[in-house]
Chain A
Amino acid sequence: MSGLRVEGVSVALGSTQALREISLAFAPGWTAIVGPNGAGKSTLLRVLAGLQPVDAGIVRFDGQPLAAMRPRERSMRIAWLAQQGEASGELTVREVVHLGRLARLGLFTAPGAADEARVDAAMQEAECDAWQQRRLHGLSGGERQRVLLARALAVDAPWLLLDEPTTHLDPPHQVALVRLVRRQVNAGTTVVSVLHDLSLALLADTLVVMQQGRIRAQGARDDPQLHAALSEVFDGAIRIERFGARWIVIPHVEP
């Protein structure tokens, strides 16, 4: 059984039941997790990254319990990008992206030429190499998001978990992000992303629709049943329309 697999997972955050007996496996390619606010999307992604302990059920990676994996072993296989990119301290952009190599180097090994090359490639991929000597706290929200994405890419993990990666990004950079995800997938990376922008989410290979901590539907982006579930969890407030080769989602507002 390869990759990440969730079996009967429940998670309570304080008095809120964030996830309720979720079972899920991911196909290779790009999976987008969507759903209304509070559906449990980010919690599920944190569970997949091994950051959120579960109250019931188990998460497996290649058949092994994820919780039993050593932290570095896990971090070399699963890269995670936070929803709200925290950033304090005085690190430059390059130094932040370099942190992605920690997963492979650990705390005590000095980086080599291969690590520097990977950092360069990640910065080019995320289009942030032009300001690599600037400090992170001096960047705009969108610029910072691209740097943090480059940090996740620098891990060079076969699994990439992205929580709201388009936050703060303007439309050209949202498009660039989709292209980047496609390149990652073509290179063999499995990408799982939480997305609020449903039109962007409908560019993914597979979608997982969540509501109130449960999986309401999982399927390919062209699946009519998935579209119906999507419309239902958003209380019919959206319409999904075909636009050439792709789908777009528009708010269902009466004139």
Chain B
Amino acid sequence: MTATDARRRRRLAIGLALATLVLLVAGLAAGSDGWSLPDLARTWAGPDGALIVGQIRAPRTLGAWLTGALLGLAGAIAQGLFRNPLADPYLLGSASGASLGVVLLLAASASGGHAIGLATADTLARIGLVGAAFGGALLGVLLTLTLARGAQQTTRLLLAGVVVGVMLAAASDLVTSAVPEALRGKQAFLLGSTGYLGWGSCAALAVGLALTLPPSWRLARALDALTLGADTATSLGVALPKVRVALVGAIALATGLAVSQAGLIAFVGLVAPHLVRRFAPARNGFALLASAAAGGTLLLLADVLARSLIAPREVPVGVLTALLGGGYLVWLLHRRRVA
């Protein structure tokens, strides 16, 4: 690592930490009247201060960061594992799988007369959502890997991911055609929202991050070896099949948890690792940690903007990330064309 690299990494780490701190405060201050620090002080001192700040804004803000961190981490793992800068949790079919799992649960609950959705506060129902999303994510990944006959061929994997994504989305549409009562819940889900994140969600997301980040970081050297090709990594003693299973499992768990709590939030998993590589190119160990932090910061920024832009109304955060992320990619393409 050169002195310049070290300096850039330090700057990125400090920048992300500062941005997170500022955005955490902004998240606490963003209410129905927009974004205002004096308003935060007034709200806190008011009769419902503890409820509004402590039970609504704080878990939403923290939950947004954790959801973004899981997506950023999943994206960084996918890009390292498949050696493809376009890989993200959506590539593997994990997001569409998680979405189908949740839609199936919504439809089943609506048919049974106990409609649940992202807004459901009941712990059992939230656990059900997590389970359905994780199961769906795993199913999506397995389908993609089966169709691609493993993860060795990147092009085949990308194509399989697209096919599985389309098929699972169609299956999800079929379910809502059969059970229209599930359509509303599904709509909220597809738009992506951080508005329903409570302390329970935060706990689930934090546990998910604790279960996926340290093991993935420990396997970062295998991702480094993979940059020289699968054969070279194998010749260096890396047990690739085991590493692949562990990292694909981490992607499925991280995506499943994020989707189950906040719905489909596009582009964070793709853009966060890109930004990290752009500002501070590094080995995968640093890239995984920084991508998680960048994903958290990005989604937190999007959440604050979603709450403030047209207050008292909100822009669905998934729509905002899609616009921002899509815009970033268009800018990247334009820059490359110009270059």
Measured CB to CB, the closest approach of chain B to A78, in angstroms, equals 7
Residues A86 and B232 in contact in the complex (CB < 8 Å), given A71-B238, A92-B1, A102-B238? yes
User: Are A100 and B236 closer than 8 Å at their CB atoms?
Assistant: yes
Q: Which of B218, B225, B239, B277 has the most CB of A within 10 A?
A: B225
Quick check: is B224 within 8 A (CB to CB) of the other chain? yes
Determine the distance from Cα of A50 to Cα of B287 in the docked complex, in whole angstroms. 31
Measured between alpha carbons, how far is A85 from B103 in the docked complex, in Å? 45
* Complex CA–CA separation, A155 to B218 (angstroms): 21
A91 vs B286: C-alpha distance when bound (angstroms)? 12
On chain B, the number of residues with a Cβ less than 8 Å from chain A's Cβ atoms is: 28
Most buried by A among B5, B225, B235, B283: B235
- CB of B228 within 8 A of CB of A151, answer yes
Let me know if A148 is at the binding interface, CB within 8 A: yes
Output the least CB separation between B162 and chain A (Å).
21
Known: A92-B2, A107-B218, A108-B218. A99 touches B236 (CB 8 A): yes
In the complex the two chains form, is A91's CB within 8 Å of B238's CB? no
- B238-276 CB contacts (< 8 Å) to partner A: 238-239
B127 at the A/B interface (Cβ < 8 Å)? no
Q: Is the CB of A155 within 8 A of B227?
A: no
Q: Establish whether residues B229 and A86, one from each chain, have CB atoms under 8 Å apart when the complex forms.
A: yes
Total chain A interface residues with beta-carbon distance under 8 A: 36
User: Is there a chain A Cβ closer than 8 Å to B231's Cβ?
Assistant: yes
Whether A75 contacts B237 in the complex (CB less than 8 A), given A82-B231, A90-B283, comes out as: yes
From B227, B232, B237, B281, give the contact of A74 (CB < 8 A).
B237
B83, A107: Cβ atoms closer than 8 Å? no
Report whether B231 and A46 are in contact in the complex, using a CB–CB cutoff of 8 Å.
Answer: yes
Contact string against A for B residues 1-21, beta-carbon threshold 8 Å, 1 for contact and 0 otherwise: 110010000000000000000
CB-CB under 8 A for A49 and B235, given A107-B219, A107-B221: yes
Establish whether residues B229 and A102, one from each chain, have CB atoms under 8 Å apart when the complex forms.
no
Instruction: Write the chain A residue with the least CB distance to B221.
Output: A107
Contact A91 B235 (CB under 8 A): no
Query: In the bound complex, do residue B83 and residue A89 qualify as a contact, i.e. CB atoms below 8 Å apart?
Result: yes
B222 at the interface (CB under 8 A from A): yes
CA distance A92 to B304 in the complex (A): 38
Task: Report Cα–Cα, A151/B225, bound state, in Å.
Answer: 11
Residue of B nearest to A105 (CB): B221
* Chain B min CB distance to A133 (Å): 4
Judged by a CB distance under 8 angstroms, whether A88 is at the interface is yes
Interface hub of A78, A79, A90, A100 (most chain B Cβ within 10 A): A90
Interface residues of B (CB under 8 A from A): 1-2, 5, 80, 83, 218-219, 221-222, 224-225, 227-229, 231-232, 234-239, 277, 281-284, 287
Q: A78-B235, A103-B236, A151-B228 are in contact. List 18 more A-B contacts (CB 8 A).
A: A50-B235, A51-B235, A73-B237, A86-B227, A86-B228, A86-B229, A89-B83, A90-B281, A91-B224, A92-B1, A92-B5, A95-B224, A96-B227, A102-B237, A102-B238, A103-B237, A135-B281, A155-B236
20 CB contacts below 8 A, A to B, read A50-B234, A71-B237, A79-B235, A80-B231, A80-B232, A82-B228, A82-B232, A90-B277, A91-B283, A95-B224, A99-B224, A100-B236, A102-B236, A102-B238, A106-B237, A107-B222, A107-B238, A108-B218, A133-B2, A135-B281
Query: Which of A's residues lie within 8 Å of B, judged by CB?
Result: 46, 49-51, 71-76, 78-80, 82, 85-92, 95-96, 99-100, 102-103, 106-108, 133, 135, 148, 151, 155
